[in-house]
Amino acid sequence: MAIQEIFDEEKLQTLEKLISQTPAKKIFLPHEGLFILRLIQGGLMAGHGSQKLFGWFGGAGLKGTTGWLESIGLKPGDLWAIAAGGSEFGGGVLTALGLFHPLGEIGVISSMVMAANKAHWKLPIWANAGGPELPLMYALVSLALMITGPGKYSLDRALGIKLPPWFVLTAITVASIATAYGIQSRPTIATPSTSLSEQGEI
């Protein structure tokens, strides 16, 4: 085909007219995009939490996580390990399912903000240097999902579930207090050599 036929002005005008008359909803698929994002974010976070709770995927399990958390000032370590693993595993499952929004996202944000501050702070930003790149990304994706909502393809939408504002505010308050309390505990930083990030934990 000749080059002038490919860039024929009449054909280009026809294409431009077709695009301009096509509704945006037929070009962009926001609900499908949210569904994919939720599945990926939720699945990864659930796997992340299962490393701490059950020792799956090469994780340290509750015993290993407990010892490490106590070494960075989070005592009693077993309770913090359950809280961290539960926030990640439960938060990931709820996020993937689009259920009880935004409790899943709140749990993930709380755990990832804690991880960024306790395990990675004052280190270079990038993950290969032990920095907070990954927990920050997880937290920000959850924040975006918290703002946008779970979308059409969610159990909340299918079951007509909508948590009351007072309940959501209470959950945010409790998570914020727990996170702030954990962050101020000393010591506040683990070196890359002692961080569970090497084991795929944080």
CA-wise closest residue to 42 among 126, 145, 127: 145
- C-alpha span between 68 and 75 (Å, rounded): 10
pLDDT beyond 50 at 38:
yes
pLDDT beyond 70 at 200:
no
**Average pLDDT, rounded, for the chain:** 86
Residue 11, φ and ψ in degrees, nearest 5: -65, -40
Where in 4-150 does DSSP place strands (E)?
none
pLDDT beyond 50 at 41:
yes
pLDDT in tens, 13-31: 776 776 666 665 567 889 9
With 0.85 as the threshold, say if the pTM is over it: no
Domain boundaries, the chain: 30-199
Burial-class residue 132 by CB neighbours within 10 Å (0-12, 13-18, 19+).
buried
Residue whose pair of structure tokens reads 């990864």 in the numeric block: 44
Alpha helix positions (H), 98-164? 103-119, 133-148, 155-159
Q: Residue 116 CB: number of other CB atoms within 10 A?
A: 21
Query: Span 173-186, mean pLDDT?
Result: 90
With beta carbons less than 8 A apart as the criterion, state whether 151 and 34 touch: yes
